[in-house]
Homo-oligomer: A and B are copies of this chain.
Amino acid sequence: MESCGEEAEEKEFLAQLISIIVPKVFVPPLNFAMVEPGIYRSGYPGKKNFPFLKQLNIKTIICLDPVQYRNEDYLIAENVKLFQYPVNKNKEPLTLIPQYLLADALSRMLDKANYPILVHCNKGKYRVGCAVGCLRKLQNLSKTFIFAEYQKFSGAKARVLDQQYIELFDVSLVKYDKESAPEWL
């Protein structure tokens, strides 16, 4: 039993030593970025991203993906609220993100009570790109800026259909309470 205790002590000593020698590194999820104070965007977060999300103190996750949520343990451990919208990527000829669903997601994004929010899909490119693009429309920003921002995240495989979706999106569907809306709107 004594040698077992010594072994545990040695292990702990080694762990401490490593934590001193190897610098602390935070790993943001794929395509992570800040959208506005209180709103972050990214691809699907995984275990190695949890210390980073914890540091941001994420309170709400908005997931734009139909598959059953994969990070339930994290939600419970960190007391994070989840709003999941079962939407697929915009795709010719008939798959389009239902406007009423995205409008509802945007309403959540405009409620400061939910901040800090992380909105994510699978890769943080297309569905999240549409959500952020529609948010930018609400901010009266130029289409040049909106599409340039979309393309920064989609890269070479930018979808014209997504840009058309943003352009045609009816912002009047987004209901929000002016009292709890952020100052930058």
A125–B103 Cα gap in the complex (Å)? 33
Stoichiometry (number of copies): 2
Whether A34 contacts B34 in the complex (CB less than 8 A), given A26-B140, A140-B23, A140-B24, comes out as yes
Interface residues of chain A: helix, strand, loop or mixed (majority): mixed
Whether A25 contacts B142 in the complex (CB less than 8 A), given A34-B34, A34-B36, A36-B34, comes out as yes
- Chain A residues with a Cβ under 8 A of chain B: 23-28, 31-37, 52, 139-142, 144-145, 148-149, 152-153
10 further A-B pairs in the complex, CB-CB below 8 A; given A25-B140, A33-B149, A34-B34: A25-B141, A25-B142, A26-B139, A26-B141, A28-B141, A32-B145, A33-B33, A34-B36, A37-B37, A152-B152
17 contacts between A and B (CB under 8 A): A23-B140, A24-B140, A25-B141, A25-B142, A26-B139, A26-B141, A26-B142, A27-B141, A27-B145, A28-B141, A28-B145, A31-B148, A33-B149, A33-B152, A34-B34, A34-B35, A34-B36
